[in-house]
Chains A and B, each alone.
Chain A
Amino acid sequence: MSTLIEIKNLSKHFAVNRKLFGAKKETVKAVDDISFKIEKGETFGLVGESGCGKSTLGRTIIRMLEPTEGQIIYDGTDITNIKGKELKNIHKRMQIIFQDPYSALDPHMTVKEIMSENISMLGKKTEEEQEEIIVSLLNKVGLTASDMYKYPNEFSGGQRQRIGIARALAVNPEFILCDEPISALDVSIQAQVVNLLSDLQNEFGLTYLFIAHDLNMVRHISDKIGVMYLGKMVEIGDSDEVYFNPKHPYTKALLESVPGIEPENILDLDRDIIDGDIPSPLDIPRGCRFHTRCPYATERCKTEQPELYDYKDNHKVACFNCL
């Protein structure tokens, strides 16, 4: 397998003006010095709690947001600073599926109009050709040709998400950023959408960056999993490895927060339960970012920031206590 996307020391900071007249500017380090690779044809799952920077990371990678530092290499070309036409061409090869199917589709356009907009990005086509493409895409995602003339508000959340997927496919992308595509859907629909995504992956050889909260679902679809906490990657590795053999205390806590139905799970009182909330990204703790909530934090954790260490092949952890 070859690498499709490689990011090196990527950071995305936002400047915030907190005082009305003050020149005092603060920065939110939404994504701070992250490096990893996504191989062609694989699904990279990205998990972490709300506000940890997952979506920002995803959107920076596809250059929907401007990176502050670091490098993004897409299929061998550095796309960190490209602009204009070059960027437009790269954007034809990547797509995004949004979390909220309600704000992702223009409510004033029919499905046909929404999709024609994408299709026309690939060059001029006649009305018939466009319709043909739209019908075949709609069929692929489990909708019918007559849905083409409807407005988004005539569909349910799951159907809208399917339209979002069909729209993303319309430009024949290689890479799709799935930005929590299932979090807004109810559980039965989630499974359908996830299955649809993996079918399409097999059919078109797509590469996904799949962002989610739900570790079970992420393990189901991903080849690799990255766990983020406060803008940093804390653990990264093969999907099953991270899921069954988590090393970082934060990953363990995340996994244990998944409610189980097996009695031994319910009775297991010896869990790592973490207290408190994620610290404000304006005021990141010194040392290991997780030390304020970590049950195993030592003096070293409070002063020194752990890098991602190789724990095994294809399994990296950023924790001093796991070495």
Chain B
Amino acid sequence: MKNDKKRRNKMTRAAFLKDKLAILAAIFLIFIIVISIIAPLLPLEATKTDVLHILEVPSKGHWFGTDEIGRDYFARVVYGGRVSITVGILAMLMSTVLGVSIGMLAGFLGGVVDFTLMRIVDVIQSIPWLILVTVVSIFFKKGLLSIIVVIGFFSWMEIARLVRAEVMSLKEREYIQYASFLGIDTVKIILRHLMPAVMPTIIVSATSGIADAIMTESALSFLGIGIQEPLSSWGKLLQAAQSNLQNSIYMALIPGLLIVFTIFSFNKLGNLLRIYLEPSRAS
């Protein structure tokens, strides 16, 4: 057990060090996450308006300048990142838990259960995503929590499909059949034998799930049905930057690039995690 852990660590470390981009991604993510966590402790005021200093260019006092009502844009970006990352992680957790449970059940139990669950997936997936979320979010009270729930609840279908397919093929493996022959109960078979085998799939899809959730939140906020003032998020900032695109393009570039880098970093690290979890397949 110990040896194995050591070996995995070694392999993962090697893969990590070889990949300069992965190091960058890790540093970047740690930086973003730390900043997001300690944001309230920093001397930043994201909501303080100052009409005498609107749309100022970046300077010593305001690193990223100020927005159209004179708020410090750096503070807006930091607090926006906090919201974006929170939404990304929580929505991903929700969709992963939902997707994995439903996929497992459908794949393992098969028959009527499988048919019913998969038809539900078909129905939800057949409605254009953005329209669905837009309509649903109208009925929800606007706020951080409802954004998370809406995104989480409408993005579990893909992972459910992936897990189902994987479980269906695993179910035919002799070690799974042997476990049910022994009379080990279904829950234990799922947790002990199926989970580790589908873990790499879950990890990869969960990391891209964070990225997707951040992107979706940005899209919703950009369309004005996501995060509401005075809260900000990177998507929200992008939307606000639209009207000032001509004279201060950096207001759009900053949150835009941050979204791109964050998504890239999560995907990159997800890949490394997969190497850790599936050493035999990666080598």
> Could you list which residues of chain A lie within 8 angstroms of chain B, going by C-beta atoms?
62, 64, 87-88, 91, 96, 98, 100, 103-110, 117-118, 121, 149, 151, 153
Contacts and interface: CB of A to CB of B under 8 A. Distances in A.
A151 B181 CA distance: 22
Contacts of B178: 96, 98, 104
Contacts of B177: 64
At the interface, is chain B mostly helix, strand, loop or mixed?
helix
B197 interface: yes
Given A64-B181, A88-B183, A103 B1 contact: no
A246 to B, nearest CB: 32
A108 B189 CA distance: 13
A91 B180 CA distance: 10
Interface string B179-204: 10111100000001100110000000
A105 B175 contact: yes
Contact of B183 (A87, A103, A149, A151): A87
Contacts of B175: 103-106
Contacts of A104: 174-175, 178
A149 B3 CA distance: 9
B179 A91 contact: no
Contacts of B197: 106-108
26 contacts: A87-B183, A91-B181, A91-B183, A96-B181, A98-B174, A100-B174, A103-B174, A104-B178, A105-B175, A106-B196, A107-B197, A107-B280, A108-B193, A108-B196, A108-B197, A109-B192, A109-B193, A109-B196, A110-B1, A110-B4, A117-B179, A117-B182, A121-B182, A121-B183, A149-B1, A149-B4
A100 B174 CA distance: 8
At the interface, is chain A mostly helix, strand, loop or mixed?
loop
B20 interface: no
B228 to A, nearest CB: 45
Size range of the chain B interface in the assembly: 10 to 19
Nearest to B196: A108
Nearest to A98: B174
B173 interface: yes
Contacts of A87: 183
B117 to A, nearest CB: 20
B5 to A, nearest CB: 11
